[in-house]
């Protein structure tokens, strides 16, 4: 009797070993948690919610947003890095949480802790000053900074923030010097820039739009090479200055713990592409001031992440940038 049970168990195990450990055919078979490592209402959160709603409808399972904010995105990112690689815990990752935090602080993860699924949005930044600033366009602003090393100041939402890094890269590219004035948040920084207490900053399109429309802000140029759908009248630095290949922006994308089976990543990516191409999501992104990415495979996203890690890593070292 025991021999027969042992034989049957052996047969069962042999058959199990021959079956694929994971299959995308029945994925997802239960709700999927999408961890946003920032507070609700922030750009990453809003973009992830728009896509998660479409994924819930197309894949017939709930994609539930779970905000785990703190430590520059490290708390939520670390949670996902440690999760089972089965496709049921995803990260709404971004430049700040996945690339910058590991470069500036000690984290238990880095970009290689995750399997990219696809970029869902990009967020360009705008070079902005008060209307009283004495430069008619971006090239004139560059000339002023170059001719007066150390005279001008620039604001950011804090040391090591995306706006800070873009500003430092901008200054490095024009061989200019200006004094950094960090704030605890971009809102306070922008208030002082528009009041003329600080000379310029790179801020998100979303933050700048109301002030451009009211006439309080002078928006010179976008940091990305691609124009903004929300501010189509603002040129890019690449098109309007001598910085012909300047192309810097924040990305937002979905990721899974490293080791997640490729068929699951492929199924998710296909559904994401359908989601971001929908009019519903495109309209939501337009109000958020972020840009749709028409096509982004896991391999495409991996290339973006690696290029960014190298470029920002080199900048952080060269400029001796520290996190607040």
| Domain that includes residue 156, residue range | 131-240
CATH, residue 218: 3.40.190.10
Residue 19 lies in a domain: no
Cα–Cα nearest to 152, from 135, 173, 169: 135
Residue 71 lies in a domain: yes
Residue 20 lies in a domain: no
Q: Are 185 and 111 contained in the same domain? A: no
pLDDT for residue 323: 86
Residue 151 lies in a domain: yes
Q: Are 42 and 59 contained in the same domain? A: yes
Listed in sequence order, the residues at least 6 apart from 263 whose beta carbon sits closer than 8 Å to its beta carbon are 22, 23, 24, 27
Tally of domains within the chain: 2
pLDDT for residue 173: 96
Q: Are 138 and 231 contained in the same domain? A: yes
Q: Which residue, 240, 270, 291, sits at the end of a domain?
A: 240
Q: Are 99 and 143 contained in the same domain? A: no
Residue 303 lies in a domain: yes
* Mode of pairing for the β-strands spanning 32-36 and 89-94: parallel
Q: Which residue, 185, 219, 240, sits at the end of a domain?
A: 240
* Percentage above 70 pLDDT, the chain: 93
User: What pLDDT, in 10s, does the model give residues 232-288?
Assistant: 999 999 999 999 999 999 999 999 999 999 999 999 999 999 999 999 999 999 999
CATH, residue 94: 3.40.190.150
Rounded-to-integer distance, Cα 134 and Cα 298, Å: 45
Listed in sequence order, the residues at least 6 apart from 8 whose beta carbon sits closer than 8 Å to its beta carbon are none
Q: Give the H/E segment covering residue 217.
A: strand 217-222
Q: Are 255 and 114 contained in the same domain? A: yes
Q: Are 53 and 119 contained in the same domain? A: yes
Q: Are 135 and 234 contained in the same domain? A: yes
User: What pLDDT, in 10s, does the model give residues 205-246?
Assistant: 989 999 998 999 999 999 999 999 999 999 999 999 999 999
Residue 15 lies in a domain: no
pLDDT for residue 7: 53
Rounded-to-integer distance, Cα 148 and Cα 233, Å: 29
In angstroms, what CA-CA distances link 87 with 247, 263, 282?
A: 32, 10, 25
Q: Which residue, 207, 240, 273, sits at the end of a domain?
A: 240
- Give the mean pLDDT per block of 10 residues along the chain (324 residues): 50 44 77 96 94 97 97 95 98 96 95 97 96 96 98 96 96 97 94 97 94 93 95 96 95 98 97 96 94 93 95 94 86
Q: Are 136 and 208 contained in the same domain? A: yes
pLDDT for residue 55: 97
pLDDT for residue 294: 85
**Region of residue 57 (left: phi > 0; alpha: psi -120 to 50; beta: else):** alpha
Calculate the average pLDDT of the chain: 92
Q: How many CA atoms lie less than 13 Å away from 80 in the CB half-sphere?
A: 37
Q: Are 232 and 257 contained in the same domain? A: no
Token reading at 217: 């802000």
Q: Are 135 and 236 contained in the same domain? A: yes
Q: Are 183 and 277 contained in the same domain? A: no
3-state secondary structure of 63: strand
* pTM for this predicted structure: 0.87
Residue 24 lies in a domain: no
pLDDT for residue 4: 53
Q: Are 37 and 78 contained in the same domain? A: yes
Residue 3 lies in a domain: no
């Amino acid at each position: 009797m025991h021999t027969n049970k042992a034989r049957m168990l052996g047969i069962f195990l042999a058959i199990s070993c021959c079956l694929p450990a994971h299959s995308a055919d029945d994925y997802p078979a239960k709700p999927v948690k999408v961890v946003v490592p920032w507070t609700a209402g922030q750009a990453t959160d809003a973009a992830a919610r728009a896509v998660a709603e479409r994924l819930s409808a197309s894949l017939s399972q709930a994609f539930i947003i779970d905000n785990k904010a703190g430590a520059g995105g490290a708390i939520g990112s670390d949670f996902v890095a440690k999760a089972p690689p089965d496709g049921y815990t995803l990260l709404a990752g971004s430049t700040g949480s996945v690339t910058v935090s590991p470069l500036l602080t000690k984290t238990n993860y880095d970009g290689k802790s995750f399997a990219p699924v696809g970029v869902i949005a990009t967020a360009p930044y705008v070079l902005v000053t008060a209307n009283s600033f004495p430069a008619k366009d971006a090239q004139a602003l560059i000339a002023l900074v170059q001719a007066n090393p150390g005279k001008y100041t620039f604001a950011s939402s804090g040391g090591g923030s995306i706006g800070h890094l873009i500003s430092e890269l901008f200054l490095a590219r024009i061989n200019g010097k200006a004094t950094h004035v960090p704030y605890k948040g971009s809102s306070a920084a922008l208030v002082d820039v528009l009041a003329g207490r600080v000379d310029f900053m790179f801020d998100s399109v979303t933050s700048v739009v109301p002030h451009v429309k009211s006439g309080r802000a002078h928006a010179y140029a976008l940091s990305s090479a691609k124009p903004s759908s929300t501010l189509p009248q603002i040129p890019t630095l690449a098109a309007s200055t001598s910085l012909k290949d300047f192309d810097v922006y924040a990305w937002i994308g979905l990721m899974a713990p490293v080791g997640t089976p490729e068929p699951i990543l492929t199924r998710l990516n296909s559904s994401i592409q359908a989601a971001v191409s929908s009019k519903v999501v495109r309209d939501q992104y337009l109000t958020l001031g972020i840009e749709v990415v028409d096509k982004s495979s896991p391999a495409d996203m991996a290339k973006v992440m690696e290029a960014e890690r190298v470029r920002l890593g080199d900048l952080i070292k060269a400029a001796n940038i520290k996190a607040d």
